Structure 1
Amino acid sequence: MAWRLVACAALVVVTATSSAVAVADGDGRGRPSAVGRFDLPQSGFAPADTVLRSGPPQSVGLDPAPIDAAAEALAGWTAASPPLFPGAVSLLAHHGVVVSRTATGKALRYADGDRTELPAADQVPVRPDTIFDVASVSKLFTSMAVMGLVDRGLVDVDERVAAHLPEFAANGKDAITVRQLLTHTSGFEPFIPLWRDWPDEASRIRAVLDRAPATPPGTAYTYSDLNLITLGVLVERLTGKGLDQVVTEWITRPLGMVDTGYNPSAARRDRIAATEFQATPPRGMVRGQVHDENAWSLGGVAGHAGVFSTAYDLAVLGQAILNGGTYRGRRVLAAESVRAMLTNYNQSFPGDEHGLGFELDQRWYMGGLSGPGTAGHTGFTGTSLVIDPASRSIAILLTNRVHPTRGGASVNVARERLASSLALAMAVPPRHGRTAWSAPPADATTATLTSPPLTARGPIRVRFAAFVDTDDADALVVETSDDGTTWEAVPLRVGGPGAPAGETRSLSGSGHRSWWTADTIVTSMRPVTVRWRSSTDSRYTGRGISIDGIFITEGDRLLLNGEKEPHLLRPVGWRVQTR
């Protein structure tokens, strides 16, 4: 069964009188509106009074086709045999408007770890309000609680953890700071089996606090549950309250996240998606208890896992982050603390960008929304939250991919597809005139746009505009050929926000979200053909590549005007775009 929510007429009217007008008219000062636009990145926070409301994609200038295609893909993955995941809920929001909510598949489908299906009457369909174990997305709640300590003057991120937890100084950890725990640069190993090797909660916590670093602190990035378990203990020590109570009082209750918390009550069990059938430890089919064995052995409340939530509640959290720490007039974090959570402190570890809690710029699940300021987190159970301040967008995917066993395929393809659908739904209008050329993002493809042979008596100049948002391994190159068979890349000089300095023979990268201007000089004693070639590798793409405003000249003589003579260009894999 698949659910698809459509905004009611009243809500459509409300959004049509606000966001839709903004899309058409801009901001009233002659500047285009950023709503629905991928090429107009925002800086700073969204207006503090932004509150989520429902509306169709068109109400905020979005193309519904990529969003619909992603919803169909999610439904297909649940219907496959075996499914990529039994069930899923997704939510997409842009500039405060929830433009898509989908629910597909089963919250409970199997009776055991051998994939024995329950009778149809006993299976439970996923609904839009199904509650999922969000696994490591829980780390964001712990991190926000730590930043709440900072806001209250109870700790500083550059303080030694041992200043507040003296026992943490054991085995070479005396100098480790709160910041290093938040950015996973403490030196802790990823995981130790607390549930198996220690007999009770107290000894398990001592085992974490006693643990020696696996690498010297500050010298490497290693994602570790132990960092957040320690931070959870820090929150409890400095507040005198349980981590669950702090998260409730400081975060979920003020934000109105009514379906979010630890150890959900038995009354909610029918709404909870099942996770794994566990034989070791002998827990049977886990439903309504935290899936993570270490968090379970710590009573269901731990810094690294334990939170249950819904897609809508997580969207509220995401909007509070976009708003700078406030929602519906309730501030849960100071704006400066939110800014710190979204700032990369791991410049020394490229590829592992991380703020004080949030992962940053991770294309493997953020897809086309990736950029230096894009924040999020994933969870082992098959969950992901992506928050893109540059487009003021949110993408949430909740699945029960570990039901009934954790041995299935990775769900990263679904995470990436959903986030990319929102990026593709945003417009990148032509830079010149009404049309441009676009190479749609697709894995393992090559697209070429080729000029006719051009005859000149001397050097020719090739100028064009390019919008490039790609994985670093995917590139746009300009090539020339004297015979139409052998091609050579030519050096380009490029200008614009985020453009490469000096000469370059390929254009790639993401995050700048701006049109560039490019030009090159080509010298040939024979007629020369120019082509633009876009190539992608087998995995990960961005928003894609567009080119526009092609002009090829010899001195004052115009050899090719791509705006007036697009029919002279031969496209293979490129298409004309109008938005």
Structure 2
Amino acid sequence: MRTRLGALLAIAAVTMAGMTSSVVAAEGEAVAGRFDRPQLGFAPPGTTLRPATPEEAGLDPAPLVAAEQKIDAWTRPDSTGHPLFAGAVGVQIHDGMIVNTHTAGSALRYADGAGTELPAGQQVPMRMDTIFDLASISKLFTSLAVMQLIEAGQVRVDEPVATYLPEFGVNGKAGISVGQLLTHTSGLEPFLPLWRDWPDKAARVKAVMDVKPMYEPGSTYKYSDLNLITLGVLVERLTGQPLDARVRERITEPLGMVDTGYNPPAEKLDRVAATEFMAVPDRGMIRGQVHDENAWSLGGVAGHAGVFSTAADLSRLGQAILNGGAYDGQRILREDSVRQMLTDYNQAFPGNAHGLGFELDQLWYMGGLTSPATAGHTGFTGTSLVIDPTSRSIAILLTNRVHPTRTWGSINIARETWATGLARSLAVPPKHGPDAWFTEIGNLSTATLTTKPLTLGSRPLRVTFDAFVDTEPTDQLVLESTVDGTSWQPVSLRAVGPGAPGGEVTALSGTGHRSWWAVSALVRPSEIVALRWRYTTDKAYTARGVLLDGVKAVVSGNAVLDLERAPEAVTPERWQLRSR
């Protein structure tokens, strides 16, 4: 895993091993509603979803409302003349409790690819039961089907795919393993225009079987639809069933996912969110057919795309993963299989953590819920699923962002915002006293906490404080000093705690450790010095934010700064005192 996470590996390993909470007794027992007390192991298999208020779950409702407001705003036209996406449905879940559901905008809004709005009476609003084209989230269903075959002894992760699909083992692919397809390390190129360059389904499947790797297998991470198309064929070959039938029989029906499947039936069309107005190929406004051109050309059923679902159904799937493979008395996978799906097999490719099917530790859409154990996937149509075992939380955001065109921009900011809203609703109680300084600034921003001048009398100043840092690696907290009030110099820091950087550093950052760090620094002698804590973000992605507590500065045993006693001794810019 990423070296920046340091000691967090121990927590992540414990989480995946399903051990009891006693192993983190020094940090205290895991507590629902807390962000700083990682849950260990799976939730009880009997955990089922139920509605609850944020307060009943021990959550702060304000961050959830703030996330809702941003989602709403993104469905309204901005300076570009159009919204970021036509509509959205969101669900936020903690500890088996559905603490928030939200709808915004329209499932059907436009008449053509230019963005001509339909008359108001013909537009269809988003509803909680709106059915979405999940796009690449479909890959999870194929991966689950493969894991079931592994459990049954029909497939081995490290076995060459050609063992099961001999026709795949041509053109340098003889050694590509099942695991390499699941982790996108096979070396296959991302995409082939199957719909355009091959005449029928049989020829398109053969094209995937015949393709030559773009990279040496196992040498790099390259996300590829071809990996999962191949695995879909493998599932069909070994089970003797079409992929859609297998997924229905072994995954969606046992989990009670009543609106999940491929090629939605006509009677559900009025609940399906529209996607793109597609001119090439000439498909017009797509609604009720899979958006992905290759999946469409394969009859709507493929290993990489084709599944339609609702937020409610995906909630059941997410809780089944948190439960270790079971929901409402129905088990689709053993716990050890789920652990494999949530274990990083791509440690050789930093930044591309991946289990057997699930993406892991991806801040760009997991936001404040990011950790080495956090799993999920996104879909090109505007969908995302985030599952955080360490807080037993689920964030689902489904949009039709390609309606009416795929060119209106990325919605990663919305995905991140929805997950981060849930993370910020979880409590991080102050380390000392009733409150702590907190900042949650967005991108391209700076927050400072500046002291008044401190008189040292030419003696060194020892500074200590506690920091809860949940940030992108490039969004950093620094401590600086000045003797003239103009020129600020970084101060070397030492931090102790799970996930803290080793040795002396001049900046603190990192996601996923879920722990307070004890930080100390020594400021060189000067007659008068001022200090400031500065947190600065770059142009993209932020996590939960930063808290500071127990700030104290001592000269020769005498405190010259103690923010627990005198918080007015600092001037805050975009920092606030918070009780959680």
On whether the aligned pair clears a TM of 0.5, the verdict is yes
Distance 1:447 1:207 in 2: 54
Tell me what 1:54 maps to.
Answer: 51
Distance 1:109 1:558 in 2: 63
Structure 2 residue 155 is matched with structure 1 residue 158: no
Counterparts of 1:74-89 in structure 2 under 5 Å? Answer: 74-80=71-77, 81-89=81-89
Tell me what 1:22 maps to.
Answer: none
CA distances 1:66-101 after superposition (whole Å, capped 9, x unpaired): 111211222222222412111111111011111111
> Cα distance, 1:256 vs. partner?
0.3
Q: Choose 245-254 or 554-563, whichever is displaced more.
A: 554-563
- Partner of 1:255, secondary structure, is coil
> Cα distance, 1:158 vs. partner?
0.6
Distance 1:451 1:110 in 2: 55
Counterpart amino acid of residue 64 in structure 1:
P
Counterpart amino acid of residue 71 in structure 1:
E
Counterpart amino acid of residue 527 in structure 1:
I
Counterpart amino acid of residue 321 in structure 2:
I
Structure 2 residue 522 is matched with structure 1 residue 525: no
CA distances 1:272-325 after superposition (whole Å, capped 9, x unpaired): 111112222222221111111110111111000000000010011000001110
> Cα distance, 1:53 vs. partner?
0.5
Q: Choose 196-205 or 531-540, whichever is displaced more.
A: 531-540
Counterparts of 1:254-273 in structure 2 under 5 Å? Answer: 254-273=254-273
- Partner of 2:319, secondary structure, is helix
1:92–1:98 contact (8 Å) kept in structure 2: yes
Counterpart amino acid of residue 140 in structure 2:
L
Question: TM-score, normalised on structure 2?
Answer: 0.93
Counterparts of 1:275-286 in structure 2 under 5 Å? Answer: 275-286=275-286
- Partner of 2:416, secondary structure, is helix
- Partner of 1:533, secondary structure, is strand
Counterparts of 1:295-334 in structure 2 under 5 Å? Answer: 295-334=295-334
> Cα distance, 1:31 vs. partner?
5.3
Counterparts of 1:82-231 in structure 2 under 5 Å? Answer: 82-231=82-231
> Cα distance, 1:426 vs. partner?
1.1
Distance 2:294 2:49 in 1: 35
Tell me what 1:73 maps to.
Answer: 70
Distance 2:86 2:163 in 1: 46
1:359–1:375 contact (8 Å) kept in structure 2: yes
Unaligned runs of 5+ in 2: 1-26
Counterpart amino acid of residue 356 in structure 2:
L
Tell me what 1:39 maps to.
Answer: 36
Paired-residue identity, %:
61
Structure 2 residue 471 is matched with structure 1 residue 470: yes
2:129–2:311 contact (8 Å) kept in structure 1: yes
Distance 1:32 1:433 in 2: 20
> Cα distance, 1:411 vs. partner?
1.0
Question: TM-score, normalised on structure 1?
Answer: 0.93
1:77–1:83 contact (8 Å) kept in structure 2: yes
Structure 2 residue 289 is matched with structure 1 residue 289: yes
- Partner of 2:253, secondary structure, is helix
1:462–1:552 contact (8 Å) kept in structure 2: yes
CA distances 1:428-454 after superposition (whole Å, capped 9, x unpaired): 111001111112232222122122322
* Backbone CA RMSD of aligned residues: 1.3
2:382–2:400 contact (8 Å) kept in structure 1: yes
1:89–1:399 contact (8 Å) kept in structure 2: yes
- Partner of 1:521, secondary structure, is strand
Distance 2:204 2:217 in 1: 22
Unaligned runs of 5+ in 1: 1-29
Tell me what 1:550 maps to.
Answer: 551
2:30–2:39 contact (8 Å) kept in structure 1: no
Tell me what 1:63 maps to.
Answer: 60
Counterpart amino acid of residue 77 in structure 1:
W
Tell me what 1:235 maps to.
Answer: 235
2:441–2:447 contact (8 Å) kept in structure 1: no
Distance 1:107 1:572 in 2: 41
CA distances 1:137-156 after superposition (whole Å, capped 9, x unpaired): 00000011110111111111
Distance 2:495 2:87 in 1: 46
CA distances 1:433-485 after superposition (whole Å, capped 9, x unpaired): 11111122322221221223222342221111000000111111111111221
Tell me what 1:10 maps to.
Answer: none
Distance 1:226 1:210 in 2: 11
Tell me what 1:21 maps to.
Answer: none
- Partner of 1:479, secondary structure, is strand
CA distances 1:94-140 after superposition (whole Å, capped 9, x unpaired): 11111111112111122222223222222211111000100000000
Distance 2:548 2:226 in 1: 47
Q: Choose 522-531 or 244-253, whichever is displaced more.
A: 522-531
- Partner of 1:254, secondary structure, is coil
Distance 2:439 2:158 in 1: 46
Distance 1:122 1:455 in 2: 71
Tell me what 2:3 maps to.
Answer: none
Tell me what 2:358 maps to.
Answer: 358
1:441–1:542 contact (8 Å) kept in structure 2: no
- Partner of 2:455, secondary structure, is coil
> Alignment length, in residue pairs?
550
